[in-house]
Amino acid sequence: MEARFNLYGNAITTSFSKRMSMAGKVIDDSPLPKSTHELVKIRASQINGCSYCVDMHTKDAAHAGETSVRINLVAAWRETNVFTEAERAALALTEEATRTADGGHVSDDTFDQVRKHYDDDQIAALIAAIAMINAWNRLNAIAHTPAGDYVPGQWD
């Protein structure tokens, strides 16, 4: 597969990507559990059909010690018993927030579950993480960035 557009071969998109990466450091430095952050990135990327981001975040999750069972079951999280109640709340929020463009919405029930498991700083980071991965998904999906060659840590 060929990219439609090389995001990293253009000064504007390279500069934009660097700034998005810097904004993402706020989430990385937050109290949101790293495993939850990776699960959110994987699930949103699956929904958005961003193969580059699915490749990246599944590899990053495995590199960080996430089990293959959990990584492989993210898409079917509702039918599994391998995620905590807190992770399930975060995945529900991710799905609902990612699908708002399809006419969906974040339900009060889902947000109540998030509030039950996370404090305000973690919720703020979770909301920011969902917004950020959706932006990255759109960049890479529009450019048709090919998947498969990502190496964990290459963008650090």
Asked if residue 31 has pLDDT above 80, the reply is: yes
pLDDT for position 8: 87
Per-residue pLDDT band for 116 (boundaries 50, 70, 90) equals very high
Per-residue pLDDT band for 11 (boundaries 50, 70, 90) equals very high
Class of domain 26-143: mainly alpha
- Radius of gyration of the CA atoms of the chain, in A: 15
Q: Which of 70, 110, 66, 58 shows the shortest CA–CA distance to 89?
A: 110
pTM: 0.95
Would you tell me how many other CB atoms lie within 10 Å of the CB of residue 101? 10
CB 138 within 8 A of CB 5: no
Asked if residue 131 has pLDDT above 90, the reply is: yes
pLDDT tens, position by position, 51-102: 999 999 999 999 999 999 999 999 999 999 999 999 999 999 999 999 997 8
Asked if residue 154 has pLDDT above 90, the reply is: no
Report the mean per-residue pLDDT for the chain: 95
Per-residue pLDDT band for 103 (boundaries 50, 70, 90) equals confident
**Residue 91, helix vs strand vs coil:** helix
Per-residue pLDDT band for 155 (boundaries 50, 70, 90) equals confident
Tell me how many degrees the CA angle 41-121-111 measures, rounded to the nearest 5: 65
pLDDT for position 7: 92
